[in-house]
Each structure stands twice: as structure tokens, then as C-alpha cells.
A and B are shown apart, each in its own frame.
Chain A
Amino acid sequence: MAKSAAGTLYRGNDGMWSWVAHRVTGVLVFFFLLVHVVDTALVRVSPEAYNHALELYKTPLVNLMEVGLVGAVLYHALNGVRIILIDFWAKGPKYQKGMLRGIIVVWLLVMIPGAYFMLIRTFESLFGSTS
């Protein structure tokens, strides 16, 4: 594609993909929220019912999905700030590409240690304690 077209075409560029990812993560998080309010409502049934449901969240597969959920929310939140800055900050549209790079860096800086802390217990239970 000719260099001059970059920035004039929305379709297929990073502007489109950041929007697609914002939409997909928003829907994903909303459906999880519906489930999450219902599982938390089990505290009104009995401590056993709630603790039993929480055991599922501590299994290796669901623990891994938890990292995906936190990653989805974090992207949505960071890109939400980017959208708000594009809308309200005079220089927002000019820097939208740089801001997208910025949120990807922040996302990685949070998710690498974050994933470590979320998964360490599962790792230890699967492959033996390291301490």
C-alpha cells in the first residue's frame, strides 16, 4: 500500500483493530459480569455453596482464563482512556497512534508481573513447590 494512504484509510489499520479489540473485550467482560454476580449471590445461600463455586475459580484451567479476563479488562480500560483523550483533548487525534503504542507497553508492564502472581499458586500445585 502506498505510504501516502496510511492514516487516511481507517479500514484495516490499527485504528480499526483497536476498535475491534475494544468491542470484543467489552462484550466478553459484560457476559462474565452476568455470571460473576450470580456466583457471588451464592453467599446468600450458604457458605458451603459459595466456597464450592469458588473452588472452580482455583482450578488450573479457570485460573488461566482469569489471566485472559484481567488482560481483557485492562486493555479495555486503557483503550477507553485513549478514546476519551481522542474525544476531548485537542491533540488527541494527532497522537492516537502513539497512545495506542503507549497502552500496549503499559499493558505488558502490568500483565507480565500480574500473570506471574495470578498463576504462581497453580504452578506450584502442578509442578511442586519451589520454596
Chain B
Amino acid sequence: MSAPSLDAPRSKRQITKNNFELNAWLFMRVSGVVLIILVLGHLLIMNILDGGVHRINFAFVAGRWSSPFWQIWDLLMLWLAMLHGCNGLRTIINDYASKHATRMTLKGLLYVATVLVIALGTLVIFTFDPNIS
């Protein structure tokens, strides 16, 4: 695979196997719209209202995650923000890393980090124990 390049003007449209890049482009917009509510709502509640970060502690988290509503909110936010950010960084790596090996290494690191963080966050939401000591 060579560096992504622009075709010459009026050259024939490439026949591609699938619509991955179109779907990724669309995903950025759809996930972006959903993230407006999830992320800005999260920041308003956690950072601005009612004392903001100063009132957050273990008991506060336990209170929120006793409700399935906030569990689903946080789970959806975790997956969408990580996938949106991962795909955004994939674009940026493709833009600036012109050497094949550099590009592959950076994208490999990005994908490993993304999978690990999504897995960790999901595990924490599903196995949270308010009585842990």
C-alpha cells in the first residue's frame, strides 16, 4: 500500500472493493451528532453544575452508576467517542506520516490503544461494585 494520493484530474474513477472510507466519513458525522448530547451533557453535569469536579468522588460515581440510565449513557459515550477519535487520528496519521513503516507503526499503536481502552472502560462499567473495599 502506498501513501494515499490524489488522482490526476479527469482520470477514471477507481473501482474499490467496498465503501469503507465513505462509511467512515458518514460515521464521523452521525457519531458527532450523538456525541453533542452525550459529551456536552457529561461536561455540564460533571464539571460545571453544582460544584463541578469538586464534588466528584467514589460515592458520587456509585450513586450515578446505580442507575441503568447513566450506565448506558457512559457506555455509549465511551464507544462512540473512542471510535470517533480513533478514526479521526487515523485520518491525521494518513495525512502526515508519509513513510510506509511509520504510518503502519502509528496506526498499529492507535488501534491497540483504542481496543484496550474500550475494553477497560466497558469492563469497569459492567463490573462496578459499590461495596468494594
Report how far A33 CA is from B85 CA in the complex, Å. Answer: 9
Cβ contact within 8 Å between A43 and B124: yes
Query: Would you give the shortest CB distance from B79 to chain A, in whole angstroms?
Result: 11
Interface string of B15-42 (1 = CB under 8 A from A): 0000000000000010011011001100
Q: Total interface residues on B, using CB and 8 Å?
A: 39
Cβ contact within 8 Å between A46 and B82: no
When distances are taken between beta carbons in the complex, the residues of chain A under 8 Å from B49 are 117
Known A37-B117, A84-B29; contact A50-B48, beta-carbon cutoff 8 A: no
When distances are taken between beta carbons in the complex, the residues of chain B under 8 Å from A54 are 53, 56-57
Q: Is the interface of A mostly helix, strand, loop or mixed?
A: helix
Query: Would you give the shortest CB distance from B104 to chain A, in whole angstroms?
Result: 19
Chain A, range 28-86, C-beta contacts under 8 Å to B? 29-30, 33-34, 37-38, 40-41, 43-44, 46-47, 50-51, 54, 57-58, 63, 66, 70, 73-74, 77, 80-81, 83-84
Report how far A28 CA is from B86 CA in the complex, Å. Answer: 12
Q: Give the size range of A's interface with the partner.
A: 35 or more
Query: Would you give the shortest CB distance from A95 to chain B, in whole angstroms?
Result: 18
When distances are taken between beta carbons in the complex, the residues of chain A under 8 Å from B92 are 23, 27
A118 at the interface (CB under 8 A from B): yes
When distances are taken between beta carbons in the complex, the residues of chain A under 8 Å from B29 are 83-84, 87-88
B2 at the interface (CB under 8 A from A): no
Cβ contact within 8 Å between A73 and B120: no
Name B89's contact: one of A27, A37, A43, A44 (CB within 8 Å). Answer: A27
A97 at the interface (CB under 8 A from B): no
When distances are taken between beta carbons in the complex, the residues of chain B under 8 Å from A33 are 81-82, 85, 117
Counting from the closest, the 3 A-B pairs by CB-CB distance are A30-B85, A47-B58, A37-B121
Question: What are some 30 contacts across the A-B interface (CB < 8 A)?
Answer: A26-B88, A26-B89, A27-B92, A33-B82, A34-B113, A34-B117, A37-B78, A37-B120, A40-B61, A43-B58, A43-B124, A44-B128, A44-B132, A58-B53, A58-B54, A70-B48, A73-B43, A74-B40, A74-B43, A77-B32, A77-B35, A77-B39, A77-B40, A80-B32, A81-B36, A83-B29, A84-B32, A87-B29, A118-B48, A118-B52
